[in-house]
Amino acid sequence: MEKRQHWDSRLIFIFAAIGSAAGLGNAWRFPYRAATNGGGAFLIPYFVALITAGIPLLIAEFAIGYKFRAGAPTALGKVKKGWEALGWWSVGVGFVIVTYYSVIMAWVFDYLWYSLSTAWGDAPADFFLNKVLHITSGPGELGGFSIPVLIGLVIAWIAVYWTIRDGVKSVGKVVKWTVPLPVIMLGILVIRALTLDGAVEGIRYYLDPDFSKLLDPKVWAGAYGQIFFSLSVAFAVMIAYASYLPKKSDITNNAIITALANCGISFMAGFAVFGTMGYMALQKGGTVADVAGSGGIGLAFWVYPEAIRLLPFGTVIFALVFYIMLLTLGIDSFFSIIEGVVAGVADKWQLNKKKTTRVVVLAGFVLSLLFATKGGLHWLDIVDKYINDYGVIGVAFFEVIAIGWVFKSKKLREFVNPISELKLGGWFDILLKFITPLALGGILIWNIVQEVIDVTKGNYYGGYPLWSVAVGGWIVAVVLIVASFILAKTKGKETLEEAPEKE
């Protein structure tokens, strides 16, 4: 058996965890979610979700990864036999996400290049959709590969392979750069944004509270979904990362530092984004809502380029700062998912990690090719919606049951408290056993009910045809669940060391 690697220091572990959490989601999902779901009032469901689900689950994932010294499937299988399938499900969800996350990273690589000549000219939306993606009319038309995307994709996967080729050793060297750098870049963008005319209007749009939105369950479901995606919990990643912690590592405080740093970065990103949007609204005439569009990839690949095009000076510089920020934010989220998959596979069958990494990277690359086609964006949109609304929330729900009830949250506290700076009291049991599963179960049911209502009304997600939603949403979900049970049934190799009950 290979000796299990360890992080070089506590700081490197925290950097890697923050690196995974802070990604593209912070830059473009959070600011728009907040702005359109109640502004400042959205911070309420967001923090409730953070405290009732995000942080408890992060602590729980760190704890079981650390205790069982294994990736998610083996670790959950050690909680109780049979729960291994849940671990595979989370690996599967992460793997699906990485297949399209990698393509977004490919666009970012492309845009670093385009930034040098501000290749989008004065029509950024047209440039992105028609010159880079060559987007087709719908998911039924794949239309061959978009060459720029394909090139970016190859570069992105090579970069990721290079980073994780020696496991946590090489990852440790990279996160030293890719975690502080985007924060510095973001700082520059925030200062630039806030010193522009009209910035105040943008910030008002971002944070003006609309409390009536809090009555809408969709806003709450959105806040929980955002927290999981953002903290990278329920994706097998944090369990894998914690499995490389050396003995006597802090759990609770590390989880809280990771969570707060991540949310801080999201909050900060909002100022950069909406400060700039305020300026753009002033320049173009119109409201912030008009110029900001609907967020998502549009923000990163055409709204923002359009905004910096209008800057009085330094367009190339700010374009570079922006895309370097996205690149360094996203890349460590990207490779963390691969680490989660590799740990899952290598730990179950005691495989050589290097070889496993090569196979997983290759498989991920091949699957990601679907999203590099000209019709890829339609598929990306569909898969992203369903995997987040059902896959992530589903995994998270069963994970709290597995850890809170089957492993038992009291046992978790007894194990975590002696090694952690912050001590968990009995309140943690109430959170993990009752509040978190109730919230998650509620959201899952609510999402399913909404879906059924929409489908019976003939309102398919994004106006896509039914068959494409069925393939990219429902069939992917079923395949993942069935595959998880099959993988859990196959025989692995037992040899893993375990952290002692009490250190």
For ligand PFF, the closer CB: 54 or 94: 94
Q: Which is nearer to ligand PFF, 22 or 377 (CB)?
A: 22
Q: Angle 173-269-287 (CA atoms, 0-180°, nearest 5)?
A: 155
Distance in angstroms (rounded) separating the CA atoms of residues 76 and 84:
5
In which element (H, E) is residue 248 found?
none
Q: Which residues bind ligand PFF (CB under 6 A)?
A: 20-21, 23-26, 94, 97, 229-230, 232, 235, 237, 333, 336-337
Cβ–Cβ contacts within 10 Å for residue 143, how many? 14
Query: In angstroms, what is the minimal distance from the CB of 414 to ligand PFF?
Result: 28
Query: Closest distance between ligand PFF and the C-beta of residue 147, in Å?
Result: 26
Helix (H/G/I), strand (E/B), else coil: 373: strand
Tell me how far, at minimum, the Cβ of 201 lies from ligand PFF, in Å.
27
Residue 105 or 219 having the CB closest to ligand PFF: 105
| Three-state DSSP class for residue 134 | coil
Min dist. Cβ of residue 240 to ligand PFF (A) = 10
SS3 312: coil
| Minimum gap (Å) between residue 427 Cβ and ligand PFF | 27
Q: In 293-375, which residue ranges form alpha helices assigned H by DSSP?
A: 297-298, 304-309, 315-349, 353-368
Placement of tokens 């939603």 in the chain: 469
**Least Å from the CB of residue 302 to ligand PFF:** 19
Pick the closer one to ligand PFF by CB: 23 or 225.
Answer: 23
CA dihedral angle for residue 167, residue 168, residue 170, residue 173, rounded to 10 degrees? 170
**Cα 75 versus chain centre, distance:** 21
Residue 449: CB atoms within 10 Å: 11
Q: How far apart are CA 101 and CA 199, in angstroms?
A: 30
Minimum CB–partner distance for residue 226 and ligand PFF (Å) = 9
Q: Which two tokens stand for residue 9?
A: 């220091």
Choose between 235 and 271: whose C-beta lies nearer to ligand PFF: 235
Task: Choose between 97 and 419: whose C-beta lies nearer to ligand PFF.
Answer: 97
| Closer by beta carbon to ligand PFF, 388 or else 409 | 388
Residue 421 identity (one-letter amino acid): E
Instruction: Assess contact for 277 and 200: CB atoms under 8 A.
Output: no
If the CB atoms of residues 45 and 94 are measured against ligand PFF, the closer one turns out to be: 94
CB of 332 to ligand PFF, least distance (A): 9
